[in-house]
């Protein structure tokens, strides 16, 4: 990760006198570079490192052992949840509070002894603060020594190593038994049909958008013809329609992108759902966090205007790919708990839980790691029960979910399914009524929509669309 020398050069100079004292280094008359060199040499001395190690209590030693065996680094919020926060103290505060003698947490005890350090690394969501142990310090520490080494010999029962324990901390969730599943709601691809309806309406009316959404007249006209008239779902459709290049907004009016529209309408249902799923996955128009019920973000304040929803989704989908069983039902609460334990700062640049302004329904600001369940937890639940279900990627039940074949394809567990299609024919009655099945070509229905009066919408039970 980094050497002791580099770590000391990057650390707050206020730490140097304390570390010199702890590690037995005389610094009188030395300048800062010389102090750093002297302390660095002392910290690689095995005898001195063992003395510092022996001064730790079991909780502190266990935290250090866990960090080293886990790759010698961890995101700071996760480490803080396990072992407490680290106060950033000035030289005067160090002299006053004596954090070595009176640490407020195991993490603080390790930090002010120089055994762990703060650093930074960048992932898809931006820079993040990490806790790490310098590489050469690991070599000096007696990590194989335990608190039992000085005890008299005692007969211990030998425990066999369980070879089935996975090395990956994001282990596959345990499958739920089928008898535990209630109120199952299978996913469907009705989003394709409703997107076709939306595109036809936009083609005919080029509606004006107010505050990035439809006016009431247009809203009523669109929702009356959808299989699912949920307003939140329509907002989602508009967002991914724009992200997917199907809809353009010019001078405040929505209109179709004819080139991309024709290509999408001519595809199979599987190709169309894959296009929309990728538009959601990589898009930045529709921001999931801003649509979670009960959350009221203020993007104009703090650093929330730098939020990258595509990077957040990529992180979440990667965790799902490493965690979810391919075919079985799993507990949504258990998945959220795994994310909380293993990657609490998945959407927070630099692991900062204090620079966003988000209110709840009561008007209270949700800040700090203590608000994780109300912000990150609710976001994860929303993604599972709304976008991923709307897109046909997850079946839902009470407190449970299951990947569909499309969902496994999105997570790259299996190839994205591309079954062939044989579109059903459109029928025209003697009275001029046009009947269009959901299994008809979306291109054909789109053309019918353009040159007819709209009648009744279809439904999921097999009732067709009717036009005149």
Q: Which region among 104-118, 243-257, 337-351 has the lowest average model confidence (pLDDT)?
A: 337-351
Q: Dig out the tokens for 20 from the structure.
A: 């010199």
273-330 pLDDT tens trace: 999 999 999 999 999 999 999 999 998 888 888 889 999 999 999 999 989 999 899 9
Q: Dig out the tokens for 347 from the structure.
A: 């959407």
CA-nearest of 99, 96, 77 to 87 is 99
pLDDT mean over 361-375 = 93
Q: How many residues in total does the chain contain? A: 468
In terms of C-beta density within 10 A (0-12 exposed, 13-18 middle, 19 or more buried), how is residue 48 classed?
A: middle
Q: Dig out the tokens for 138 from the structure.
A: 């690991």
Q: Which region among 169-173, 208-212, 425-429 has the lowest average model confidence (pLDDT)?
A: 169-173
As a whole number of angstroms, the distance between CA 78 and CA 354 comes to 15
In terms of C-beta density within 10 A (0-12 exposed, 13-18 middle, 19 or more buried), how is residue 154 classed?
A: exposed
In the chain, what percentage of residues exceed pLDDT 90? 63
CA-nearest of 119, 54, 115, 124 to 83 is 115
40-97 pLDDT tens trace: 999 999 999 998 998 888 888 888 888 888 788 888 877 887 788 899 899 899 999 9
Selected residue with higher pLDDT from 152 and 278: 278
Taking residue 456's Cβ as centre, other Cβ atoms within 10 Å add up to: 12
CA-nearest of 295, 299, 281 to 416 is 281
Q: How many CA atoms lie within 13 A of 113 on its CB side?
A: 27
CA-nearest of 343, 367, 357, 369 to 169 is 343
113 neighbors 22 (Cβ within 8 angstroms) = yes
Position 159 pLDDT exceeds 60: no
Q: How confident is the model at residue 236 (pLDDT cuts 50, 70, 90)?
A: very high
The H or E element containing residue 122 is strand 117-123
pLDDT, position 124? 62
Position 349 pLDDT exceeds 80: no
In the chain, what percentage of residues exceed pLDDT 70? 93
Top mean-pLDDT range of 81-95, 165-179, 298-312, 381-395: 381-395
Distance, C-alpha 274 to centroid of its chain: 20
The backbone region for 64, taken as left when phi is positive above 0, alpha when psi lies in -120 to 50, beta otherwise, is: alpha
Q: Which region among 115-124, 324-333, 364-373 has the lowest average model confidence (pLDDT)?
A: 115-124
What is the number of H-type helices and E-type strands within the chain?
Answer: 21, 15
Residues 409-448 as b/e (b if ≥16 CB within 10 A, e otherwise) read bbbebeebeeeeeeeeebeeeeeeebbbbbebbbbebbeb
Q: Dig out the tokens for 196 from the structure.
A: 């076709």
Q: 430 to each of 133, 433, 434, how far by Cα in Å? A: 80, 7, 9
CA-nearest of 116, 136, 19 to 74 is 116
Q: Dig out the tokens for 384 from the structure.
A: 């599972």
């Amino acid at each position: 990760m980094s050497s002791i020398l580099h770590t000391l050069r990057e650390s707050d100079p206020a730490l140097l006198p304390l570390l010199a004292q702890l590690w037995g280094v005389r610094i009188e008359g030395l300048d800062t570079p010389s102090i750093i060199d002297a302390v660095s040499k002392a910290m690689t001395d095995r005898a001195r490192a063992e003395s510092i190690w022996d001064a730790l209590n079991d909780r502190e030693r266990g935290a250090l052992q866990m960090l080293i065996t886990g790759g010698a680094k961890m995101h700071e919020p996760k480490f803080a949840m396990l072992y407490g926060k680290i106060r950033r103290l000035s030289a005067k505060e160090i002299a006053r509070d004596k954090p070595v003698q009176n640490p407020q947490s195991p993490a603080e005890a390790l930090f002010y002894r120089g055994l762990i350090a703060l650093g930074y690394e960048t992932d898809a969501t931006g820079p993040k603060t990490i806790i790490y142990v310098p590489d050469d310090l690991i070599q000096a520490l007696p990590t194989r020594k335990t608190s039992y080494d000085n005890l008299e010999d005692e007969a211990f029962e030998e425990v066999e190593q369980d070879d089935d324990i996975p090395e990956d901390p994001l282990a596959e969730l345990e499958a739920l038994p089928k008898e535990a599943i209630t109120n199952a709601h299978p996913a469907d691809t009705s989003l394709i049909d409703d997107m076709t309806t939306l595109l036809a309406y936009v083609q005919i009316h080029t509606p004006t958008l107010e505050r990035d959404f439809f006016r009431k007249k247009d809203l009523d006209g669109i929702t009356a013809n959808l299989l699912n008239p949920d307003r939140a779902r329509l907002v989602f459709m508009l967002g991914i329609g724009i992200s997917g290049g199907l809809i353009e907004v010019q001078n405040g009016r929505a209109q179709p992108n004819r080139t991309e529209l024709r290509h999408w309408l001519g595809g199979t249902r599987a190709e169309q759902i894959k296009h929309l799923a990728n538009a959601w996955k990589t898009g930045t128009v529709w921001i999931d966090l801003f649509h979670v019920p009960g959350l009221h973000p203020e993007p104009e304040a703090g650093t929330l205007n730098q939020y990258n929803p595509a990077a957040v989704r990529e992180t979440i989908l990667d965790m799902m790919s490493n965690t979810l069983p391919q075919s079985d039902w799993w507990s949504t609460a258990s998945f959220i708990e795994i994310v909380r334990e293993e990657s609490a700062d998945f959407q927070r640049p630099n692991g900062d839980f204090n620079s966003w302004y988000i209110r709840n329904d009561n008007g209270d600001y949700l800040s700090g790691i203590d608000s994780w369940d109300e912000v990150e937890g609710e976001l994860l639940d929303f993604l599972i029960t709304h976008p991923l279900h709307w897109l046909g990627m997850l079946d839902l039940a009470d407190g449970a979910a299951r990947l569909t074949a499309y969902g496994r394809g999105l997570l790259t567990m299996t190839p994205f399914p591309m079954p062939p299609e044989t579109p059903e024919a459109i029928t025209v009655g003697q009275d001029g009524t046009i009947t269009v099945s959901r299994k008809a070509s979306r291109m054909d229905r789109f053309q019918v929509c353009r040159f007819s009066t709209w009648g009744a919408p279809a439904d999921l039970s097999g009732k067709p669309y009717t036009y005149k």
